[in-house]
Structures are given as structure tokens and as C-alpha cells.
């Protein structure tokens, strides 16, 4: 019988204008406890105003994982920070995010350059979620 390795990993990378949280593995019911702990630690560690969550390394995302992302988003926004999601070439995960209508809450972009083109880098030091989302929607339409 084939065993599946249940894993979820999170890596934080500090960039000049934002902090990037890279998610890899499975964000799902079977990794929920580890994911909750790692995401809570990440929320506490964030120092920059703009948080970019890179989901391009996820192999699987289910409804539990979506709920965790929404909860993480709410925590980030409640601390007067802004959040966006980067999908890169992960079309399957992007499709799930859009089907769940997360693009009605926050920007979902192909890469960081698309996000950084929305405003001058210095403005990301104090950008609100509303301003980031509005700039993204204007650019997307």
C-alpha cells in the first residue's frame, strides 16, 4: 500500500518592500494542525505592512486550507496590514482560489512584479488592504 507523506511547510522571506510567506505541500484537513501553528507563528513574526503569500508551491488545497487562508488574511488585515497572493504558474491552485472568490477579498497575482507595479515601493510601508485591492482591481479591469 502506498503511503502519502502529509506535509505542509512555511518559509518567511523578508524582501525590501514586503514580507513573503511561501507555502509548500498540502494545505488541507490532514495538515490543519501544523498549518495553523505555522501560520499563527508567521502572523506574530510579520513586521512589514505588506504580506505576500506565495502559494505556488502548494500541491493540494481543500476547503479546510481555504478557511485557513481566509483566517490568516483576517488576522493580517486586523493588524492594519495588507495581503496579496502570488500563484506563479500554479493554475490548479489559482483556479481553486478564484472559484472560492478570494479575488473579491485580495489581489491574486502571477508574481511579485505585478503586485509591485501597483504603487511606488515606498507606499507599501503604509498601504491599507483597501488601497492595495482597489489599485489591483483598477489595473485588472
Q: Which CATH superfamily is domain 8-140 in?
A: STAS domain (3.30.750.24)
Average pLDDT rounded to a whole number, residues 87-99: 97
The residues spanned by each domain of the chain are 8-140
Q: Residue 32's pLDDT is what?
A: 95
pLDDT band at 1; cut points 50, 70, 90: very low
> Taking the model in full, what pTM does it have?
0.93
pLDDT tens per residue, range 5-54: 669 999 999 998 999 999 999 999 999 999 999 999 999 999 999 999 99
Between the CA of residue 135 and those of 42, 100, 110, 118, what are the distances in Å? Answer: 26, 21, 16, 6
Please, what is the average pLDDT of the chain? 94
How far is the C-alpha of 42 from the C-alpha of 33, rounded, in Å?
14
Amino acid at each position: 500500500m502506498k503511503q502519502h507523506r502529509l506535509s505542509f511547510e512555511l518559509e518567511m522571506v523578508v524582501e525590501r518592500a514586503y514580507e513573503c510567506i511561501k507555502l509548500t505541500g498540502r494545505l488541507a484537513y490532514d495538515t490543519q494542525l501544523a498549518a495553523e501553528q505555522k501560520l499563527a507563528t508567521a502572523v506574530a513574526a510579520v513586521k512589514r505592512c505588506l504580506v505576500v503569500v506565495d502559494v505556488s508551491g502548494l500541491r493540494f488545497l481543500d476547503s479546510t486550507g481555504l478557511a485557513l487562508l481566509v483566517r490568516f488574511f483576517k488576522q493580517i488585515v486586523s493588524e492594519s496590514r495588507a495581503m496579496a497572493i502570488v500563484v506563479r504558474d500554479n493554475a490548479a491552485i489559482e483556479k481553486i482560489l478564484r472559484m472560492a472568490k478570494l479575488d473579491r477579498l485580495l489581489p491574486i497575482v502571477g508574481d511579485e512584479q505585478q503586485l509591485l507595479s501597483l504603487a511606488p515601493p515606498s507606499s507599501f510601508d503604509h498601504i491599507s488592504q483597501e488601497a492595495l485591492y482597489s489599485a489591483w482591481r483598477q489595473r485588472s479591469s
